[in-house]
Structure 1
Amino acid sequence: MQSDVPGPARRVVRGVARLLAAAGLGVDAYIHAHLADQYDAVAASISQGTLFRIEAAVAALAALLVLVWRRAPADAFAWLVAAGGLALLLIYRYIDVGKLGPVPNMYEPVWFSDKKITVVAQAVTIVTAGFLLLTRTRRAPRGAPPQ
C-alpha cells in the first residue's frame, strides 16, 4: 500500500525548489522594475519601459503564487513566465526583430550584468518550476479505497 503523503525528504526538496523558483522570479521582477525607467524612451505605441513593468508585475505574481498556492497551475505559470521572459531576452539579444505592431524594436546586442543575472534567475526558475511540475504526486479522490 502506497501512502498519499510524500515523505519528509520529498517535501523538503520540493520546498527548496519552490523557494528557488520564487527567488528567481523575484530577481527577474526586481531587475525589470529597476530598469524600466531607462527604457521608457524606446517606444512604439507602447514603451519598452512599460513592457518591463508588466514583466516585473507578472514575475512578482508568479513568485507569490508558487509560494502560496502550491498547485500545478501556479508552478506552470511560474515556468511560463520565466521561459517566456528568457526566450524574449535571447531573441532580442541575438535577432533584430524590428518593430512589431505596438511593440518597439527592442534589439540590444550586448551583455551587461543585469541581463546576465536575469538569464540565470530565469534559468533557475525554469529548472525548479519544471521539477515541481514533473514530480507532482497524484492524490486519490476523497473516499476512494487505497490501492
Structure 2
Amino acid sequence: MGLILRLIVAAGLAADAIVHWMFAPDMAYVEGGSIGGDDLFRIQAAVAGVVAVVVLTYGTRWAYALALLVAGSAAGAVVLYYYADPGVLGPLPDMHEPVWYLDKTISLVGEGGAALAALAGFFVAGGRRREEEDEMFEREPAGRF
C-alpha cells in the first residue's frame, strides 16, 4: 500500500511540475509583486519535482507532509486564482486567470490527487511505524525492561 501511495503522490507532483515548467515562459507577462510569474512557475516546478523524488525515496511521514503542503497549496492556488482576483499578495504577482483549459485541468488533477494520496500516506506511514514499534516490544523477553 505504501508503494502505491508513493507512486500516486510522485505522479501527481510530476504532472504539476511538467505543466508549471511548460507554462513558465508564458507567465513572464504577469506583473506585480517582487517575484515574476515565470520565476514563480519555475520555482513551483522545481519544488514539486524535488518533493516527488523525496517521497519516492523515503516515504516517511515528513515526506508525505511536505508533499501535502506542496500539492495542496498548488491546488488551492489554481482554484483561488480562477474564482477570485486577490491582486498582488506580498511578493506574489497577480495571477488571476478566469479561463480553464486542458493543461490547467491536468495540473489540478495531479495536485489534488497528490494531496489526497499524501494525506493518506501520512497516516499509513505513521501506522506502519507504530506497528514496527509494537513488534519490537513483543520480541523483547519478559522481565528485561
Interval containing the TM-score (normalised by the shorter chain)? 0.7 to 0.9
The correspondence for 1:133, drawn from 115, 122, 141, is 122
Q: Is the 2:60–2:122 contact (alpha carbons within 8 Å) kept by the matching residues of 1?
A: no
Q: 1:43 to 1:141 in 2, by over 3 A?
A: farther
* Structure 1 consecutive aligned stretches of length 4 or more whose deviation exceeds 3 Å: 141-147
Q: Is the 1:82–1:125 contact (alpha carbons within 8 Å) kept by the matching residues of 2?
A: yes
Aligned length: 135
Partner of 2:36: 47
Task: Return the letter of the residue paired with 2:109.
Answer: V
The alignment-based identity, stated in percent, is 36
TM-score (norm 2): 0.86
Do structure 1's residue 61 and structure 2's residue 45 form an aligned pair?
no
CA RMSD of aligned residues (A): 1.8
Task: Return the letter of the residue paired with 1:46.
Answer: I
Q: Is the 1:43–1:103 contact (alpha carbons within 8 Å) kept by the matching residues of 2?
A: no
Partner of 1:114: 103
Structure whose residues are more often helix by fraction: 2
Unpaired stretches in structure 2, ≥5 consecutive residues: 141-145
- Aligned equivalents of 2:20 and 2:86: distance in 1? 20
- Aligned equivalents of 1:30 and 1:143: distance in 2? 42
Task: Return the letter of the residue paired with 2:22.
Answer: H
